[in-house]
A and B are shown apart, each in its own frame.
Chain A
Amino acid sequence: MKTVLTAAIFSALAGAALADGHCAAGKTLTDGTLTIATGNPAYYPWVIDDAPESGQGFEAAVAYALAEEMGFAADAVTWVRTSFDEAIQPGAKNFDINMQQYSITEERDKVVDFSAPYYTAPQAVLTTETVMAAGGTSPTMDFLKELKWGVVASTTALPVVMEQIQPNQSPLVYDDNVNVTAAIQAGQIDAALFDLPTALYLSAVVVEGGAILGQFDPNAAEDPDQFGALMPEGSALKACVDAALAVMTENGRLAEIEAQWLQEATGVPLIK
């Protein structure tokens, strides 16, 4: 709520500059071009078919809408790929903004800049139908504690598991989504925590007999998982990006894109 308010104030202040269309002028790596980084590979439903240039997928769509709002035509957008490490290491960066489901955290904010959030991700539990059958239809926290958990190392899922679920056995940790799903398939873990859209994709497409056990209500969380565009520390572009995102939040454009690409996310039961 606070962030939205801040963004609104920003938009009011920056409104005049945007009207001129020059907010980002001279602030990008290459003048007149907005260089956007995504993951390698980039995953469904954030980017469809690992082809961000198509504008298909939630983050790809947000990226083009954001560029447009900042005064860049679609053909003035250039894509590059980075890993998580490349994005946070010190030194010059090869992108203006980086969008790959970066959760905004206080510690990360010390090293890099984050835009205002463009998505608030509910955390969801990916599991298998076999485990679901054992847990009954309405899973309790006690049931979750009994499970063997797995998470991806570079995500904020591990603190969530440790603090909110507090499982009886220590979780196993993996490099990426593929390894987590391999471990689920091998029966080495019962459940894994992902943001909801990723969890939906994995349960439907990757994990044989996969299922979503439920999602945590993001608004109930003390510190909800919000995705922001990552920029180099002290980026001059941040004000422009925040202003553009504020406009998009205000005029419903963000919600529209979310409804288009992340519609499956609604209708997953809440875990209480």
Chain B
Amino acid sequence: MIAGLSTAIVVVLVVVLVPLAPGWDAVKRSFFDAETFVNTFPTLLRAFLLDVAIFAWSVPMIFALGLAIALARGAQSAALFPLRIFGAVYVDLFRGIPVVLLVYLVGFGVPGLGLPRPWNSPYIWGTVALVLTYSAYVAEVLRSGIESIHASQRNAAICLGLSSRDTMRYVILPQAIRRVVPANMNMLVALQKDVALLSFIGPVEILRQAGIFKSLLANFTPYVVAAVIFLCVTVPATRYADYLLNKDRNARS
């Protein structure tokens, strides 16, 4: 009740007071121009489909590679020590490098070595950059999930005669993956936003398209359109992640 009232008061104050500011008309024209909004919306929505596509083909690769790295890091036997070192270096390296730099480095650098078309495509190498970064994060999340499974589960499986491979596949991983679903949901929301970084190396996705409109029309409203489209996707996704997180917390308490 009180919360509702105070919210209402704040909203009313913002709606009433902001337009009274001397620069409001200019700000409104630059950021909230209705005509620009309507005119640029369809093109921006189409550009957003490219974001969705890049996202869609990156996610399976991110999880496959992330899982492989997590398993490499958790390798037990002495013979697999190099694999464990590789996993650790991979995670440190690709979590430490800013995504932007990796997009430039891989997106321009690798094709610059002389790959022929279509193998030098910015779509391919931009995706590789995203996959490298995000698989490092996902690997850490999965590893923490695997380590959170109590050793007694592993012992129980081994004492039944299961191989360590089967123990991981049938006993540890299904529990670990379930446990880190909320953390991975947040990862996906972050990825959805970072997909826009591919525009630095050429692809015209929604933020780039908004930038093009901005310079052609000398108006920032296209960015507002892009923000609205993004919010329509990220807000439900974030809420869903929170919901899963709460559900998991309640289930464990």
Contact = CB atoms under 8 A, between A and B. Distances in A.
A189 B118 CA distance: 11
Contacts of A182: 104, 108, 112
Contacts of B109: 186
Interface residues of A, number: 34
A186 B111 contact: yes
Contacts of A150: 202
Nearest to B25: A90
Tier of interface size on chain B: 20 to 34
A179 B218 contact: no
A170 interface: yes
B182 interface: no
A117 B93 CA distance: 51
Of A110, A171, A187, A233, most buried by chain B (CB within 10 Å of CB) is A187
Contacts of B220: 89
B122 interface: yes
Interface string B188-218: 0000000000011111100010011011111
A84 B215 CA distance: 8
A193 to B, nearest CB: 14
B215 A153 contact: yes
A188 B121 contact: yes
Interface of B: 23, 26-27, 29-30, 104, 107-109, 111-112, 114-117, 120-122, 199-204, 208, 211-212, 214-220
30 contacts: A84-B215, A89-B220, A90-B29, A91-B26, A105-B218, A107-B216, A107-B219, A111-B218, A153-B208, A153-B211, A154-B214, A156-B216, A159-B216, A170-B204, A171-B204, A172-B203, A173-B204, A173-B208, A174-B200, A179-B108, A182-B108, A182-B112, A186-B107, A186-B112, A187-B112, A187-B115, A187-B117, A188-B108, A188-B120, A188-B201
